[in-house]
Chains A and B, each alone.
Chain A
């Protein structure tokens, strides 16, 4: 990985640094890599839209095959799936997955120009609905339905900041007290500044290979990708999702038994042939502190409405029963859109190898990630020793 921050350099630099680090870690020469899957960024001009080629060229053209993947915040998982599928199809032995971004300051906003048919443009123009407004709608529901409090929201941040302070790749390495968080300014009621993730620069990369290749090369300390889910919703999608101003209608067709986010992770469980009870560690997409609690339930790590109980018990902290976001999560990293789903898998890899240092989840053998991109992109990866 390249450390997250606000470095203001071209995104390619972060991606190449992460790629070189991943290759060195794996003990694989760049010239051996047969496939590069890039996760695109739409904020950095043409090179960001052809990220596979951009990174391959920056590493030095080696004649490999490529793909460039865009699925908003889930682009990283799509890139992982692209490389993994090619390996599983027997078309390649070793692949590189790279995502990196350079982000502007402030709220993530649509790219410039008038686009009155683009839902992402319309939600800002017509009603001023920012990303934090959606997170706040979900948070208010949790307060109403499950009794989440301002102190719970703060506790998620305190827990993740403590983990992030131990992570050399995290942008924010500072611990917070409950008071610090509860005194931070309100942004979108009930969410405060320190409940909402920032936007960051950063990069992440993975080397994937077939089992035969790993054995032949004698690669040590490998972990297995057991499943990658890039599931989409099933109609009608009755959960309010960015960037839409309205949900589907459930008046005629009943909603699916499993709501979208839960379906994304359960598709991964099904592919891996395991269940949530087998999971030792999870990296979930905490765009806000409340969404960490949502995802804990959606990933089946506890029942609906029970995540606050886990949090208050310390179960989701490092050393607890089911640690969540031992990397520090987006709260400590901030969003670097194409890199974050890959970074989640980096963290699980270190955890499963026992290399996470002070963040180590003892004895972790199975990890799950959960993440989601705008416009119906699910993302969940299961990794095991």
Chain B
């Protein structure tokens, strides 16, 4: 029996594996975006709106900066491999929303492959699993 795929953090991204997207918010008062989505109060100090529309953020962006983890991060991180394999991390700028989101790169690339300004797109991957579930997380993947 296959395991059920669930989001590692409910409501932060869609589980559409072909074209996943981060779920953010657009304020109905001032139009500003936020990720993770605002639930109650707008963070714009000039806006007292308490009403938001959930929006799927741009699925692609450009690398603002990047690095890697040469050593296993401490708990609560759950490593995906044993022994630990270094992974690359990218901070990606979404042009329309003008915000930066951090994510691990897919394991097919290492830090030497990355450049600032490189286009990437959002994909889903298994972060960790238990007997019944696969907990999905977002990753950035080199575009094209």
5 residue pairs bridging A and B, Cβ less than 8 Å apart: A128-B73, A187-B71, A235-B43, A251-B31, A252-B44
> What size tier do the contact residues of chain B reach?
35 or more
Q: Which of B44-83 touch A at CB < 8 Å?
A: 44-46, 64-71, 73-79
Could you say which residues of chain A place their CB within 8 Å of the CB of B70? 185-189
Complex CA–CA separation, A245 to B91 (angstroms): 9
Could you say which residues of chain A place their CB within 8 Å of the CB of B68? 136, 188-189
Complex CA–CA separation, A107 to B70 (angstroms): 13
By DSSP majority rule, is chain B's interface helix, strand, loop, or mixed?
loop
Decide: A126 near B96, CB < 8 A? Known: A141-B65, A252-B30: no
Known: A189-B70, A245-B103, A249-B33. 9 other contacts (CB 8 A): A121-B76, A124-B73, A130-B73, A188-B70, A240-B65, A248-B34, A251-B96, A252-B44, A253-B30
Complex CA–CA separation, A280 to B79 (angstroms): 47
Pair B32/A133 contact, Cβ less than 8 Å:
no
Could you say which residues of chain A place their CB within 8 Å of the CB of B126? none
Interface digits, A106-146 against B, CB 8 Å rule (1 contact, 0 not)?
11011010101000011111111110010011111100100
Q: Which of A179-194 touch B at CB < 8 Å?
A: 185-191
Complex CA–CA separation, A236 to B64 (angstroms): 17
A250 within 8 A of B: yes
B100 within 8 A of A: yes
Pair A125/B32 contact, Cβ less than 8 Å:
no
Q: Which residues of B contact A (CB under 8 A)?
A: 8-9, 30-36, 43-46, 64-71, 73-79, 87, 89, 91, 96-104, 111, 116, 127, 137
8 Å CB contact of B102 from A123, A139, A140, A189: A123
Complex CA–CA separation, A126 to B35 (angstroms): 14
- Please, how many residues of chain A have a CB less than 8 angstroms from a CB on the other chain? 45
Pair B73/A107 contact, Cβ less than 8 Å:
yes
Pair A129/B32 contact, Cβ less than 8 Å:
no
Could you say which residues of chain A place their CB within 8 Å of the CB of B137? 126-127
Pair A253/B67 contact, Cβ less than 8 Å:
no
B79 to chain A, nearest CB (A): 8
Complex CA–CA separation, A245 to B87 (angstroms): 17
Decide: A251 near B74, CB < 8 A? Known: A136-B67, A235-B45: no
8 Å CB contact of B116 from A121, A126, A140, A191: A140
Closest to B137 in A: A126
Pair B87/A128 contact, Cβ less than 8 Å:
yes
Q: Which of A154-206 touch B at CB < 8 Å?
A: 185-191
8 Å CB contact of A125 from B65, B69, B76, B101: B76
